[in-house]
Amino acid sequence: MDLSVYPIKYIRPLRLSDDSIVQLRPIHPSDTDNTEQFRASLSTQSIYNRFFGYIPTPNEKLVKRLIEIDYTSEMAIIAEVKGTPKSVIAVARLVAEDNEIMEYAIIIADDWHGKGLGKRLTTYMLEVAKDMGYRYLYATILSQNTAMLEILRKLDFDLKPEDNQSIRATKKLT
């Protein structure tokens, strides 16, 4: 990976509803250990909501694929809190489907639910996708994931049932 293309313009602090401050920044290959610790801290339900199934331990190939991205047709933003070492508390991901549409996904550490991080990070990812030149964003959400569906509803995503288990949320980036 050519680190000269690391998009520092997407680094920013974020204050949450409980006054905690998190750092948002693009994922980097050096984040492998921190993201593995993050993954290990997640509940089975959080993993199921994100991946539509439980993945006990991702293999090395999958971890590499999720960490080493090209920053042009995909973007992954992590939220981290200060500590020794810094702790990853969320990962939001955009992946281009074509030259106009990006798919969106997010996962947040269970201890950080209910603090406004989901809505704020989703809002930020809308900005990032637009800045990257995309016109539409969509996400596929499990019907049971009512918290995420409420966030998307508040952000004016168009929600339509995709099948008996999931909702497709779409938003035009203006």
Token reading at 141: 């959400």
**What superfamily would CATH give domain 3-138?**
Gcn5-related N-acetyltransferase (GNAT) (3.40.630.30)
pLDDT tens figures, 55-75:
667 677 777 777 889 999 999
User: Any residues with CB less than 8 A from the CB of 174 and at least 6 apart, and which?
Assistant: none
Can you give the residue ranges of every domain in the chain? Answer: 3-138
CA-to-CA dists, residue 139 to 8, 15, 39, 75, angstroms: 25, 25, 21, 15
Is the bond into 56 cis (omega within 30 degrees of 0)?
no
| The model's pTM | 0.89
- Confidence (pLDDT) at 56: 66
pLDDT above 60: residue 114: yes
Looking at the DSSP bridge assignments, the partners of residue 76 are 93
CA-to-CA dists, residue 119 to 108, 115, 123, 126, angstroms: 11, 9, 6, 11
User: Any residues with CB less than 8 A from the CB of 116 and at least 6 apart, and which?
Assistant: 16, 17
Please give the radius of gyration of the chain, using alpha carbons only, rounded to the nearest integer.
Answer: 15
89 touches 81 (CB < 8 A): yes
pLDDT above 50: residue 8: yes
Average pLDDT of span 42-56: 73
pLDDT above 80: residue 3: no
DSSP string, 135-171: SEEEEEEETT-HHHHHHHHHTT-EEEE-SSSEEEEEE
